[in-house]
């Protein structure tokens, strides 16, 4: 299955970000990709954390969701839509939701980010819990590829990557980790964590990221990548917007799981 991780440098104009995302989806579809994955916060990296409240949508309807649904149907592809803000029952909180759409435009999965990022090194300060409401349930869905194989796809978002127990619960063949890693933490840990999640779960990982200097002054690490079930990086991109395209070979993954049956040897 041919896939693409979409790397973006999203700004403070949601409509412009959405159009960029749709352009990349079309580009990937034209290259024969069956699955296209957007990064976390693909639709907005605002001047303030609270800016996302203004574009929050009701579950199942809204400009962002309608556009993604239409794009999946128009191009006949699977889309994992990074994250977008969905309303909660509190006016000052949103869910950071990762949505998956099938080639007919149906939403087949929704995952609300469970682990909320906080970081303070004296210079950089982040606390997602000020605006986000955490999700509570791991989410995976079935993806039928054109070759007839059905993949179990596990959803996660950015900071989730530091919690390996989540991925054990997913029991996935393919893991998605849309992210907006800071430059500081990304430089130190990004690739190591992605490859570790792939190796320990003997699964493919697609990690689409924000990558570059944003309008709001934030700098994200980028380095979007696709990693195979042996931990090898199949394709990556350092910084700047673009596609990271790779082929996933289910037979190779199954062979590795047979040769080294670590998943069957788990005691916990």
pLDDT digits (tens, 9 = 90+) for 176-229: 999 999 999 999 999 999 999 999 999 999 999 999 999 999 999 999 999 999
What is the distance, to the nearest Å, from the Cα of residue 222 to the centroid of all Cα atoms in its chain?
A: 12
For 231-258, the pLDDT digits (tens) are 999 999 999 999 999 999 999 999 999 9
pLDDT per residue as tens digits for the range 84-126? 999 999 999 999 999 999 999 999 999 999 999 999 999 999 9
Contacts 24+ apart (CB under 8 A), 101-104: 101/68, 101/69, 101/72, 102/72, 102/78, 102/143, 103/72, 103/73, 103/75, 103/76, 103/77, 103/78, 104/72, 104/73
Quote the pLDDT of residue 14.
98
What share of the chain in percent tops pLDDT 90? Answer: 100
- CA dist 138 and 159 (Å) reads 14
Q: How far is Cα 188 from Cα 32, in angstroms, rounded to an integer?
A: 34
Average pLDDT, the chain: 98
Q: Enumerate the active-site residues.
A: 40, 113, 158
Question: What is the DSSP-derived secondary structure letter of residue 71?
Answer: H
The answer to whether the beta carbons of residues 129 and 173 sit under 8 Å apart is no
**Which residues have a Cβ under 8 Å from the Cβ of 149 and sit 6 or more positions away?**
1, 250
From the list 209, 190, 141, 166, the residue with the least C-alpha distance to 4 is 209
User: Residue 61 in contact with residue 39, Cβ under 8 Å?
Assistant: no
Q: Hey, which CATH number is domain 2-265, 3.40.109.10, 3.90.1150.200, 3.60.110.10, 3.40.50.1980?
A: 3.60.110.10
Please name the helix (run of DSSP H) or strand (run of DSSP E) that holds residue 68, with its range, or none. Answer: helix 63-75
pLDDT confidence tier of residue 10, bands split at 50, 70 and 90? very high
Task: Indicate if the pLDDT at residue 40 is higher than 90.
Answer: yes
pLDDT category, 136, cuts 50, 70, 90?
A: very high
pTM: 0.98
33 SS3 class: coil
Q: Residue 268 above 90 pLDDT? A: no
Percent of the chain topping pLDDT 70: 100
**pLDDT value of position 215:** 97
For residues 15-24, average pLDDT: 98
Is-contact 43 84, C-beta < 8 A? yes
The Cα–Cα gap between 112 and 110 comes to: 7
Please say whether the beta carbons of 107 and 65 come within 8 A: yes
Compute the distance between CA of residue 7 and CA of residue 237 in angstroms, rounded to an integer.
Answer: 8
Q: Model confidence at 170, in pLDDT bands (50, 70, 90)?
A: very high
What integer pLDDT is reported at residue 144 of this predicted model? 98
Domain regions of the chain by residue span: 2-265
């Amino acid at each position: 299955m041919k896939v693409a991780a979409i790397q973006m440098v999203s700004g403070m104009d949601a409509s412009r970000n959405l159009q960029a995302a749709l352009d990349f989806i079309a580009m990937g579809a034209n290259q024969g990709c069956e699955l296209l994955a957007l990064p976390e916060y693909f639709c907005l990296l605002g001047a303030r954390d609270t800016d996302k409240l203004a574009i929050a949508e009701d579950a199942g309807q809204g400009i962002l969701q309608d556009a993604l649904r239409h794009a999946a149907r128009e191009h006949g592809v699977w889309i994992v839509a990074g994250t977008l803000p969905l309303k909660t029952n509190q006016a000052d909180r949103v869910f950071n939701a990762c949505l998956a759409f099938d080639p007919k435009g149906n939403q087949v999965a929704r995952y609300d980010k469970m682990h909320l990022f906080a970081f303070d090194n004296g210079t950089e300060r982040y606390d997602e819990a000020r605006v986000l409401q955490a999700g509570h349930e791991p989410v995976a869905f079935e993806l039928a590829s054109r070759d007839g194989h059905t993949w179990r796809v596990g959803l996660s978002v950015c900071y989730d990557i530091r919690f390996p127990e989540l991925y054990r619960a997913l029991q996935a063949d393919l893991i998605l980790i849309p992210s907006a890693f800071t430059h500081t933490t990304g430089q130190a840990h990004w690739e190591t964590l992605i490859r570790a999640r792939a190796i320990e779960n003997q699964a493919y990982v697609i990690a689409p990221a924000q990558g570059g200097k944003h309008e709001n002054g934030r700098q994200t690490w980028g380095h979007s990548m696709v990693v195979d079930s042996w931990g090898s990086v199949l394709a990556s991109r350092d910084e700047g917007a673009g596609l990271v395209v790779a082929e996933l070979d289910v037979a190779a993954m199954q062979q590795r799981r047979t040769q080294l049956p670590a998943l069957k040897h788990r005691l916990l």
